[in-house]
């Protein structure tokens, strides 16, 4: 059979640019070269799209896993020069995981791995995501939304609003970012002011949520309309929480796969993960993060990541490997799901 041409889309204008490069290199190296021609498609931090030859220079650790061609046509037109059959986005964060590039790929008529515009945008915005979870009867930790303009106009009022709602400690997060970039734990007013300022530098929408003393659980989801969930894993951070440095620099957190849970707790996490995926209209893949509150034993949904990390130490592929799906097979399934979703969309009528 003719090999599929897989465009790996990576980099981008995001605080998670470096993480994306690592994920892209891992995916490129793991794709079965007897089935796929791998075409790298890099985007610089300034938002410039690169040729495959220039993109290859950003992934030196991928070696010969990627094509050395120097031109690329983002088109599904079989008459176009070097058409790509399917795109595998590993663009984490802003302009990659938020529905923007998914809209571009939709307009180009290209199949792509992962959630569509709606699922991507909803999964990226923590405020909208939590509202969808709540409206679907899923348990979420209490939160408030703060706008950057609101903070600039009266930071004292924002601080007082948070203190009335939750006291201390609280977590402060940019609404539209991942990998714990810009996330802080605030234990007093001074730390809260600093945390709000940091989060506001990354996004105009900020959430403040009640701190929960909990175990951090993660579960991988795979599928389209009938998703399946992996065994849950547990992250045991060395510090207060699983921050960016712990995820990608220090590598000092312990990852327990599978998580030491009672059978009913494991089943609950897997059920919540699939329900969260469907609540945002997810597709292809997602990693769902949960809290197991120590005092009550209650399981809370934290968030969903529609383009989870694919680095060598990332939880998403590790969870599926522990469930019985090795990395290369996982990539095969994701590409098949992308093509399946694309064919399903082609059934939609756009004219009267």
Our answer to whether residue 14 is catalytic in this structure is no
Q: Which of 22, 148, 275, 287 is catalytic?
A: 287
Which one from 309, 314, 327, 341 is the annotated catalytic residue?
Answer: 309
Q: Is 305 a catalytic residue?
A: yes
Phi, psi of 297 (to 5 degrees): 75, 5
CA angle 176, 194, 148 (to 5 degrees): 45
User: CA–CA separation, 336 vs 330, rounded Å?
Assistant: 10
Q: Which candidate in 14, 52, 162, 305 is catalytic?
A: 305
Q: Which of 26, 179, 184, 266 is catalytic?
A: 179
Q: Which of 12, 14, 16, 182 is catalytic?
A: 16
Our answer to whether residue 287 is catalytic in this structure is yes
- Among residues 209, 218, 234, 303, the one annotated as catalytic is 303
Is 248 known to be catalytic? yes
Question: 309 catalytic, yes or no?
Answer: yes
| 168 tagged catalytic | no
- Please give the Cα distance from 241 to 320 (Å, whole number): 24
Catalytic residue among 36, 112, 242, 248: 248
Q: Where are any strands of DSSP class E within the chain?
A: 4-11, 36-43, 86-89, 143-147, 170-174, 184-186, 205-210, 214-223, 228-229, 233-236, 254-256, 284-293, 299-305
Q: Which residues contact 347 (CB under 8 A, 6 or more apart)?
A: none
Exactly one of 209, 289, 302, 341 is catalytic; name it. Answer: 289
Distance from C-alpha of 123 to C-alpha of 125, rounded to nearest angstrom:
6
Which residues participate in catalysis according to the annotation?
Answer: 16, 179, 248, 287, 289, 303, 305, 309
């Amino acid at each position: 059979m003719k090999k599929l041409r897989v465009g790996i889309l990576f980099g981008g204008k995001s605080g998670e640019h470096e993480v994306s490069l690592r994920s892209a290199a891992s995916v490129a190296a793991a794709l079965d070269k007897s089935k796929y021609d791998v075409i790298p498609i890099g985007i610089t931090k300034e938002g410039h799209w690169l040729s495959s030859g220039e993109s290859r220079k950003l992934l030196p650790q991928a070696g010969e896993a990627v094509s050395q061609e120097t031109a690329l046509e983002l088109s599904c037109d079989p008459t176009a020069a070097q058409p790509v059959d399917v795109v595998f986005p590993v663009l984490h964060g802003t302009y990659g995981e938020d529905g923007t590039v998914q809209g571009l790929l939709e307009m180009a008529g290209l199949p792509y791995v992962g959630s569509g515009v709606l699922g991507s945008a909803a999964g990226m915005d923590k405020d909208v995501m939590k509202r969808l979870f709540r409206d679907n009867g899923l348990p979420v930790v209490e939160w408030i939304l703060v706008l950057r303009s609101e903070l600039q106009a009266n930071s004292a009022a924002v601080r007082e609003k948070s203190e009335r709602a939750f006291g201390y400690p609280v977590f402060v997060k940019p609404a539209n970012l991942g990998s714990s970039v810009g996330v802080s734990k605030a234990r007093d007013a001074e730390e809260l002011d600093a945390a709000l300022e940091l989060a506001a530098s990354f996004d105009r929408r900020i959430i403040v949520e009640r701190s929960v003393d909990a175990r951090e659980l993660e579960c991988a989801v795979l599928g389209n309309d009938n998703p399946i969930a992996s065994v849950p894993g547990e992250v045991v951070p060395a510090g207060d929480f699983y921050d960016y440095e712990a995820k990608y620099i220090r590598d000092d957190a312990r990852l327990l796969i599978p998580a030491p849970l009672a059978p009913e707790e494991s089943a609950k996490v897997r059920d919540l993960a699939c329900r969260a995926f469907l609540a945002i209209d997810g597709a292809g893949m997602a990693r769902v993060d949960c809290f197991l509150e120590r005092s009550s034993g209650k399981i809370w949904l934290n968030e969903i990541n529609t383009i989870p990390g694919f680095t060598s130490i990332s939880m998403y592929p590790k969870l599926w490997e522990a469930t019985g799906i090795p990395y290369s097979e996982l990539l095969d399934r994701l590409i098949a799901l992308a093509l399946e979703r694309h064919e399903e969309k082609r059934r939609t009528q756009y004219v009267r």
